[in-house]
Amino acid sequence: MATHTPKNILITGAAGFIASHFANRLVRNYPEYKIVVLDKLDYCSNLKNLIPSKSSPNFKFVKGDIGSADLVNYLLITESIDTIMHFAAQTHVDNSFGNSFEFTKNNIYGTHVLLEACKVTGQIKRFIHVSTDEVYGETDEDAVVGNHEASQLLPTNPYSATKAAAEMLVMAYGRSYGLPVITTRGNNVYGPNQFPEKLIPKFILLAMQGKPLPIHGDGSNVRSYLYCEDVAEAFELILHKGEVGHVYNIGTKRERSVIDVAQDICRLFSMDPETSIKFVENRPFNDQRYFLDDEKLKILGWSERTTWDEGLKKTIDWYTKNPNWWGDVSGALLPHPRMLMMPGGLERHSDGSEDEKPESYVSSNTRMVVPPTKNVVTSQKHPLKFLIYGRTGWIGGLLGKLCESQGILYEYGKGRLEDRSSLVADIQSVKPTHIFNAAGVTGRPNVDWCEIHKTETIRANVAGTLTLADVSREHGLLMINYATGCIFEYDAAHPDGSGIGFKEEDTPNFMGSFYSKTKAMVEELLKEYDNVCTLRVRMPISSDLSNPRNFITKISRYNKVVNIPNSMTILDELLPISVEMAKRNLRGIWNFTNPGAVSHNEILEMYRDYINPNFKWNNFTLEEQAKVIVAARSNNEMDASKLKNEFPELLSIKESLIKYVFEPNKKTN
């Protein structure tokens, strides 16, 4: 195993959150090392973070910018620096949408200056570049194996794009000039001293003030959180034992949705989550999930020590004792903060107010995904108005776009499905002709989540759906309910490959996951409501192959796939049919799939033939798959003849795949 014993270390951005914990740890544990820290003291840096090291003889603080080549060269030479730990960066995603050039300047140009100084001086034994899990882009919601160090980089916002670009520079200097580089990519970090633009300290400070906790979108976004001291220990290990030229993920497999974090903080402050959490406009492309494979670092000898509850209590205790550590941070506590990229720079309201903006307000660093109803193109020949639930979901979002294209008035519901009074308020305000329910829990990040969040799953999938159906019936409204066909599995009467599909009247026979149990349960109860049209969707596919929820996109990114035929739903063809079903006031249960079945391999063969001629994949068995998932997955073929009879133009699954998905995406040489 490679070992490195540094003498003189330069730590950039050391007055910031993570770097200060690491710097203090090194100063404390290694008095024989000289620690030189460089920080320009930006808005999210604080010299107080380095108080534990201030009086140590092996510690030296320098105020300066990594973008200054003269300063960096001077420091490397005069301090005989042999090791650089490069933490300095702009890191807040919200800021990157409004101040993206600052991110380019700090994260890319600053890194380039450091690398060039290392090349010129020729004395560096280790250059450890601190990056982020966000460079991988959004992880598939149902992926059971995280991104490993060799995974493709697919950043989705200006912040992660600049970090990925900086990584490319680091790699290039390692290859071209032999610079001994190591890169780390880490999950979210939390703990004492963190500037409250980030989720956990923001929620804690708001809770301390008795104010509501703002959540972007629906709160289903999933993140993995590591306690700061555990991360500092990981960097200590990588510094001494990391191999040159390698990348190390610093991660945890324990994931939490934003709403779970908010609820935990409410619990520790004895606040009622129902009244203390408010949902605000989502930020542009808010990645649903980042998930890392952390095996490489575990093999090196690191493991997470601090449990979530323990770390959260320590963090709350610190902020409770140090409420004014950062001074006036009212600008950071807004739902969509925008910081000025300068030392101590906060953008505050001129009148000092923090009042919530009216509903029509959109901050300059966000974009409305769906325009307000008054801007929707209308047509007198369509006396329709749809009230849609599930705005942040895939189907819900597509429905809005479909309504726009057809000139149908629509609004998204603001109420929560479990809250009857809020649904009534929506109906009285919108006065819709039809209700569309595309909301519910499919799992965060996949159906395995439902196995350990059973009451939340019941609340959304059963109680919420039934409440909406009941309120709709009370107001004489038809409800189109997007359900699932994942309530059946091949059996003796419906064997794999036989072409005998499950019909609408068949009793569900798959209870392998708690998610499927709730969906089967609510489907049975909805039979008592004559105002409901239940559409059983299966493995949805669309022509948008960049969408990580797309079944084709998912399986084309997997290392291995099972090969088994299934019924599937081509959304480009079937979603317009669901709108037509509303116009025809159709009721009851419908298998909402294209006729026939298609296997994973058949789809991937088409993907290879139409999209990527070099594409390869491997198969594994259902038994092998079972070892890496918690809940079983449903496989079945559904009989779509009822839908075909109503809509004779409906294409078979393979015809629909070619017409709506592969032909439009076909790559020509």
Q: Hey, what are 287's tokens? A: 């990645």
What is the structure's pLDDT at 239? Answer: 97
Instruction: Report residue 544's pLDDT band, with 50, 70 and 90 as the boundaries.
Output: very high
Question: Of 1-5, 139-143, 196-200, 541-545, which gets the smallest average pLDDT?
Answer: 139-143
- The 3-state DSSP class for residue 109 equals helix
pLDDT band at 375 (very low <50, low <70, confident <90, very high): very low
Residue whose pair of structure tokens reads 């280790």 in the numeric block: 126
Confidence of residue 8 (pLDDT cuts 50, 70, 90): very high
Superfamily of domain 385-665: NAD(P)-binding Rossmann-like Domain (3.40.50.720)
pLDDT band at 357 (very low <50, low <70, confident <90, very high): very low
Assigned token pair, 242: 């990391």
pLDDT confidence of residue 626: 63
Band the pLDDT of 347: cuts 50, 70, 90: very low
pLDDT single digits (tens) 442-469: 765 566 778 888 898 898 889 999 999 9
State the pLDDT at residue 96.
Answer: 44
Position 444 scores a pLDDT of: 57
The residue written with tokens 């493991």 in the block is: 303
When pLDDT is cut at 50, 70 and 90, the band that residue 146 belongs to is confident
Which of 266-275, 420-429, 616-625 shows the lowest per-residue confidence on average (mean pLDDT)? 616-625
pLDDT computed for residue 254 by the predictor: 87
> So where are the chain's domains?
8-322, 385-665
Helix, coil or strand: residue 131: strand
Of 136, 117, 311, 131, nearest in space to 235 by CA: 131
In the chain, % of residues over pLDDT 70: 87
Confidence of residue 630 (pLDDT cuts 50, 70, 90): low
**pLDDT tops 60 at residue 312:** yes
Q: Please state, in angstroms and as integers, the Cα–Cα distance from residue 299 to each residue in 118, 242, 408, 428, following that order.
A: 30, 11, 57, 59
Query: How much is the CA Rg of the chain, to the nearest whole Å?
Result: 27
- The model's confidence at residue 344, banded by pLDDT at 50, 70 and 90, is very low
Q: Which region among 7-21, 195-209, 337-351, 599-613 has the lowest average model confidence (pLDDT)? A: 337-351
80 in Cβ contact with 35 (< 8 Å): no
Which band of pLDDT confidence, cut at 50, 70 and 90, is reported for residue 105? confident
Contacts of 252 (CB under 8 A, 6+ apart): 187, 224, 225, 226, 292, 294, 304
Residue 619 has pLDDT above 80, yes or no: yes
* Topology alike, domains 8-322 and 385-665: yes
Identify the helix (H) or strand (E) that includes residue 36: strand 34-39
**Catalytic (active-site) positions:** 133-134, 159
Instruction: Write the pLDDT tens digit of every residue in 240-255.
Output: 999 999 999 999 988 8
User: What's the rounded mean pLDDT across residues 538-564?
Assistant: 88
77, pLDDT greater than 90 = yes
Determine the pLDDT at residue 366: 27
Q: Of 204 and 334, which is predicted with more confidence?
A: 204
Which architecture does CATH list for 8-322? Answer: 3-Layer(aba) Sandwich (3.40)
Q: What secondary structure does DSSP assign to 295-333, as a single string?
A: HHHHHHT----S-HHHHHHHHHHHHHH-TTTTS--TTTT
222-227/255-257 β-pairing: antiparallel
Looking at per-residue confidence, does 496 or 337 come out higher? 496
Grade residue 203 by pLDDT with cuts at 50, 70 and 90: very high
Write out the two tokens for 454. Answer: 């059973």
Average pLDDT over residues 22-49: 93
- Per-residue pLDDT, averaged over 577-603, amounts to 95
* In the predicted structure, residue 73 carries a pLDDT above the cut 90: yes
Do residues 523 and 534 make contact, with C-beta atoms less than 8 angstroms apart?
yes
- Three-class secondary structure of residue 360 per DSSP: coil
The answer to whether 426 touches 415, Cβ cutoff 8 Å, is: yes
In b/e form, how buried is each residue of 523-553, taking b as 16+ CB within 10 angstroms?
Answer: beebeebebbbbbbbbbbbbbbbebbbbbbb
Largest CA distance in the chain: 84
Compute the average pLDDT of residues 69-85: 96
Q: What's residue 328's pLDDT?
A: 79
Lowest mean pLDDT of 98-107, 160-169, 539-548, name the range.
98-107
The answer to whether residues 502 and 493 touch, using CB atoms and an 8 Å cutoff, is: no
- What pLDDT shows up at residue 340? 38
Q: For the residues 309-327, what does the mean pLDDT come to?
A: 93
Average pLDDT, the chain: 86
**Contact assessment for residue 251 and residue 224, using Cβ atoms and an 8 Å cutoff:** yes
DSSP string, 540-603: -B-S-TT-TTSHHHHHHH-SEE----B---BHHHHHHHHHHHHHTT--EEEE-S-SS-B-HHHH
Token output for 516: 């499927």
**Residue 360 — pLDDT band, cuts 50, 70, 90?**
very low
**Closest by alpha carbon to 316, among 380, 259, 271?**
271
Banded model confidence at residue 476, pLDDT cuts 50, 70, 90: very high
Q: Is the pLDDT of residue 346 over 70?
A: no
pLDDT above 90 (res 104): no
According to the model, what pLDDT value does residue 601 have? 93
Average pLDDT over residues 188-205: 92
Predicted pLDDT of residue 283: 55
pLDDT band, residue 348 (cuts 50/70/90): very low
Q: What beta strand segments (E) does 403-477 contain?
A: 409-412, 434-437
Higher pLDDT, 667 or 264: 264
- Cα–Cα distance for residue pair 108/362, rounded to 1 Å: 30
Closest CA to 450 of 461, 437, 438, 439: 461
Whole-angstrom distance, CA of residue 376 vs CA of residue 374: 6
Q: Write down the pLDDT at residue 255.
A: 86
* Mean pLDDT across 139-168: 84
Question: What's the rounded mean pLDDT across residues 371-386?
Answer: 50
> pLDDT-derived band of residue 177, with 50, 70 and 90 as boundaries?
very high
